A and B are shown apart, each in its own frame.
Chain A
Amino acid sequence: MTELILSRLQFAVITSYHFMFVPLTLGLGVLVAMMETWYVKTGNEIYKKMTKFWGKLFLINFAMGVVTGIVQEFQFGMNWSEYSRFVGDIFGAPLAIEALVAFFLESTFLGLWVFGWDKLSKKVHLITIWIVAISSNISAFFILVANSFMQEPVGYILRNGRAEMTDFLAVITNPHVIYQFPHTVLSGFVTAGFFVMGVSAYHILKKNHLDVFRRSFHIAVVFGLISTLGVAGVGHLQGMHLVKSQPMKMAAAEAHWETENPAGLSLYASIDEQGKKNNFEIQIPSMLSFLSYNSFTGEVKGIHELQNTAVQEYGPGNYVPPVASLFWSFRIMLTAGMWLVLMAMLGLYFYKTKAYEKKALFLKLLLWTIPVPYIANIAGWFLAEVGRQPWIVYGLQRVEHGVSTSVSMLSMLIAFVGFMLVYIALAVADVYLMVKFIKKGPEVANKDEHLNSEVKGASLWT
């Protein structure tokens, strides 16, 4: 193993791990804020119970997102210092803005929300959770602006041996982020929608707190369905954009070796990566042209031609990312997405016909569907990041030129193993707590309510 491989492995694990928590935060924050809105509007205590129950799960998940996010920000400098020097002039800005604009809001107002139930008026308390929900989504925007620069560099000039920003507006309105942001945020909403649906289904099956979980189910199924359809729609537009901006990524994700017009979509392919061909494939004719251009004709460039173009442009080298893993991660994401659309539609239908409480199998399926959005999320990021290979910044810097040169293999190994051990332990604790609070239902989350008694506190200065 080399420093490069170890750093790549660490980045992949740490970033994927962080992203196990982020999507739920993005969506569940909005859902909890909606529940509390209903509470404030109607004064119905059931909504307060709901808010507190889902809020507790939100907090456990949020804490994991926050602490793993710190590593996220610092690992660019630790393991990828040459990359950081090269793009810092551009890449650092959205990170700093994310902290200044979003993290401060998020963390400060979350503290107010958690500890402020009896210190703030109902309305102000409601505003605090909306600020948390909105600012976490703003933070998603800025980190995706940063990622989009790696995918599709814009608004820069190569000067002084690095990429320097020339147009801030272009950087934050990067065409890539215009698609990536809604796609990512909506997948977060989907994750939360199915999380709430699945947990509600579990309790409805057990006939626990039906007042809380029927309402939760209703909110989640509507929220989940709209978001699922949104992800799919935006995903299609994003795919069309990627065919233009990162044709190699899409060609590899389709295992599309030869340029064709019209091009067929492979549902299944037996990929021979060494021989650079597919031994066997099952195709829908013209479908790839349609997905690329919304038209059944149109030339879709193949991997071979794109490799030749890249050699002419950037010099000799291999510009083909790992085809089979991209092909399959793309298909995992799509299959998961179709499953989620189906489940959300069925869920809404059964809810409207009031049949869902008797459909034990369906409710169980919903419970087992909770992991599906997570799988889709990770597969999607895998496609985005592995599909960028061999580049760390598309067309500008190759991955091997971004890694730190002053860090020894031993140091990297110590950090990698150390992070893994800590992360595994935290995952165990997190899952334990999540499952515990999910199983116990609303009451436990509120068990300390009697301590809420009014206390005349002394002021700080007496």
Chain B
Amino acid sequence: MDLNILWFILITVLFAGFFFLEGFDFGVGILLPFLGKNDQERRVIINTIGPHWDGNEVWLITAGGAMFAAFPNWYSTLFSGFFLALFLVLVSLIIRGVAFEFRSSDSSPLWRSTWDWMIFTGSFLSALLWGVAMTNLVKGVPIDAKMQYVGTFFDLLSPYAIVGGLTTLLVFMFHGALFLSLKTTGEMAKRASKAAQSIALVAIPIVIVLAILTYLQTDIFASLGAGITLVSSGVALILAFFLIRSHKVGWAFIMNGLTILLFTLSLFWGLFPRVIVSSLDMKWSLTIYNASSSPYTLKIMTIIALVMVPIVLLYQGWTYWVFRNRVTEKNLHY
């Protein structure tokens, strides 16, 4: 296996980790105004992700850095090509990030509700746009022979991409509701569990539509592995729904986590060895070879990543252990 493949796998892992982790905190952010009936409840909701959201977001920053370091042409073409979409993602991440920190710093109801809506809007837009971006990568976008994006912002909003956006939106909401149900007690946990069931009922048909459109509009299913993972991802979602219906919250959360991981895996698997598909001419697609860094840089980065990634996993895992207890209104100290 050459290092180009290794780095493609690593970036897949980083995005999968990002969607798994930040997925639930996007979901929690979206559900905040609906499940939190008063200020105390909203603080409980925010505190379930309080210690984690920033660390979760670093998965994205690292994925971005890894793309830049290992596949500079992927980074350059994608970020300049998806310019406005990325601008919206950045604004969303900014407003929800400061909102987590700022909302409890003033007790005026207007102040708090403003930031709560920022958390909602930022989480909602991010959750939606990531699906749009990911599905566009596999569907193909107009890339010319010089690796330049020649379309417009609206070319990114094809029906397929919008279904992709709705998929991540709903799956992340489901993920967030399950997480909340795990991390809270009593009435709140029940409310979150009920919300999870209703969200899943909408998410399942959307995912099925997405799978059909993927079959019709992309070549993902040409790769047997990618096809199987995509279908398995849908199956995991349905299982998660049945698990939450029988009140096995922890297992439902794991199962839906699996949905997200498999979904991400299937998209990247279907993409491989390309990194962005050109809709104009297949041979203009960016691949892990024509978009990559030099072998020397890949080697250096591989050594650093192989040392650092396990360490990061260890201490991030440890924080989830430290904050393993449920958040109640009695232990809201922040």
Give chain A's interface residues, CB within 8 Å of chain B.
Answer: 59-60, 62-64, 66-71, 73-74, 76-79, 81-82, 84-85, 87-93, 95-101, 103-105, 107-112, 114-120, 159-160, 162, 164-166, 168, 404-408, 411-412, 414-415, 418-419, 422, 426, 429-430, 433, 436-437, 448-449, 451-453, 455, 457-461
Q: Which residues of B contact A67 (CB under 8 A)?
A: 93-94, 97-98
**Residue contact A112 to B51, C-beta cutoff 8 Å:** yes
User: B225 in the interface, Cβ–Cβ < 8 Å?
Assistant: no
A404 and B322 CA atoms in complex are apart in Å by: 45
- A449 to chain B minimum Cβ distance, whole angstroms, is 8
Give chain B's interface residues, CB within 8 Å of chain A.
Answer: 47, 50-52, 54-55, 57-58, 60-62, 64-70, 72-73, 75-81, 83-84, 86-87, 90-91, 93-95, 97-98, 100-102, 105-106, 147-150, 152-153, 182-183, 185, 250, 293-294, 296-297, 300-301, 304-305, 308-309, 312, 315-316, 319, 322-328, 330-334
**Residue contact B325 to A458, C-beta cutoff 8 Å:** yes
Q: Which residues of B contact A433 (CB under 8 A)?
A: 102, 105-106
Instruction: Provide a sorted-by-A list of 14 A–B residue pairs whose CB atoms are within 8 angstroms.
Output: A73-B64, A78-B79, A78-B86, A89-B294, A92-B67, A95-B69, A96-B70, A103-B61, A103-B62, A119-B323, A120-B322, A404-B76, A408-B152, A430-B98
Which among B90, B101, B327, B334 is the interface contact of A70 at CB below 8 angstroms? Answer: B90
Which among A68, A112, A165, A418 is the interface contact of B87 at CB below 8 angstroms? Answer: A418
A171 and B101 CA atoms in complex are apart in Å by: 36
Q: Which residues of B contact A414 (CB under 8 A)?
A: 84, 87
Q: Which residues of A contact B87 (CB under 8 A)?
A: 78, 411, 414-415, 418-419
**Residue contact B293 to A92, C-beta cutoff 8 Å:** yes
A67 and B153 CA atoms in complex are apart in Å by: 24
Given A93-B69, A99-B65, A406:B319 Cβ within 8 A: no
Which among B66, B73, B91, B322 is the interface contact of A85 at CB below 8 angstroms? Answer: B73
A85 and B300 CA atoms in complex are apart in Å by: 19
**Residue contact B331 to A63, C-beta cutoff 8 Å:** no
Q: Which residues of B contact A89 (CB under 8 A)?
A: 72, 293-294, 297
Q: Which residues of A contact B86 (CB under 8 A)?
A: 74, 78
**Residue contact A429 to B301, C-beta cutoff 8 Å:** no
Closest B residue to A115 by beta carbon equals: B51
Q: Which residues of A contact B66 (CB under 8 A)?
A: 96, 99
**Residue contact A92 to B68, C-beta cutoff 8 Å:** yes
A60 and B101 CA atoms in complex are apart in Å by: 7
Please count the residue pairs between chain A and chain B whose beta carbons lie under 8 angstroms apart in the complex.
Answer: 263
A165 and B308 CA atoms in complex are apart in Å by: 21
Closest B residue to A59 by beta carbon equals: B101
- B240 to chain A minimum Cβ distance, whole angstroms, is 16
What are the nearest 9 A-B pairs in CB distance?
A: A88-B72, A457-B325, A77-B79, A92-B69, A92-B68, A96-B65, A63-B101, A111-B51, A81-B80
- B178 to chain A minimum Cβ distance, whole angstroms, is 12
Q: Which residues of A contact B62 (CB under 8 A)?
A: 96, 99-100, 103-104
Q: Which residues of A contact B300 (CB under 8 A)?
A: 93, 165, 168
Which among A105, A426, A451 is the interface contact of B333 at CB below 8 angstroms? Answer: A451
Given A64-B98, A92-B69, A436:B331 Cβ within 8 A: no
- B110 to chain A minimum Cβ distance, whole angstroms, is 12
Which among B65, B75, B316, B324 is the interface contact of A108 at CB below 8 angstroms? Answer: B316
**Residue contact A73 to B65, C-beta cutoff 8 Å:** yes
Given A60-B101, A96-B65, A103-B62, A112:B322 Cβ within 8 A: yes
Which among A82, A101, A451 is the interface contact of B308 at CB below 8 angstroms? Answer: A101
Q: Which residues of B contact A459 (CB under 8 A)?
A: 324-325
A100 and B322 CA atoms in complex are apart in Å by: 22
A408 and B332 CA atoms in complex are apart in Å by: 48
Main secondary structure of the interface of A (DSSP, over half): helix
A97 and B301 CA atoms in complex are apart in Å by: 8
A168 and B244 CA atoms in complex are apart in Å by: 51
A165 and B80 CA atoms in complex are apart in Å by: 24
**Residue contact A85 to B153, C-beta cutoff 8 Å:** no
**Residue contact A455 to B331, C-beta cutoff 8 Å:** yes
Which among A59, A73, A451 is the interface contact of B61 at CB below 8 angstroms? Answer: A73
A381 and B93 CA atoms in complex are apart in Å by: 26
- 15 further A-B contacts with Cβ under 8 Å, apart from A66-B97, A406-B149, A457-B327, are A70-B57, A77-B64, A81-B80, A96-B66, A104-B58, A104-B316, A111-B55, A164-B293, A165-B296, A414-B84, A415-B87, A429-B102, A433-B106, A452-B331, A460-B182
A62 and B258 CA atoms in complex are apart in Å by: 33
Given A103-B62, A437-B105, A114:B77 Cβ within 8 A: no
**Residue contact B297 to A457, C-beta cutoff 8 Å:** no
**Residue contact B98 to A100, C-beta cutoff 8 Å:** no
Q: Of residues A66, A96, A120, A168, which shows the largest number of chain B Cβ atoms within 10 Å of its Cβ?
A: A96
Q: Which residues of A contact B78 (CB under 8 A)?
A: 77
A62 and B83 CA atoms in complex are apart in Å by: 27
Q: Which residues of A contact B304 (CB under 8 A)?
A: 96-97, 100-101
**Residue contact A63 to B69, C-beta cutoff 8 Å:** no
**Residue contact A92 to B70, C-beta cutoff 8 Å:** yes
- A82 to chain B minimum Cβ distance, whole angstroms, is 7
Q: Which residues of A contact B72 (CB under 8 A)?
A: 84-85, 87-89, 92, 162
**Residue contact A77 to B106, C-beta cutoff 8 Å:** no
**Residue contact A407 to B80, C-beta cutoff 8 Å:** yes
Q: Which residues of A contact B83 (CB under 8 A)?
A: 78, 404, 407, 411-412, 415
Closest A residue to B303 by beta carbon equals: A168
- B74 to chain A minimum Cβ distance, whole angstroms, is 9
Q: Which residues of B contact A63 (CB under 8 A)?
A: 97-98, 100-102
**Residue contact A81 to B54, C-beta cutoff 8 Å:** no
**Residue contact A100 to B305, C-beta cutoff 8 Å:** yes
A412 and B50 CA atoms in complex are apart in Å by: 34
Given A78-B79, A96-B68, A111-B54, A461:B250 Cβ within 8 A: yes
Q: Which residues of B contact A70 (CB under 8 A)?
A: 57, 60-61, 90, 93-94, 97
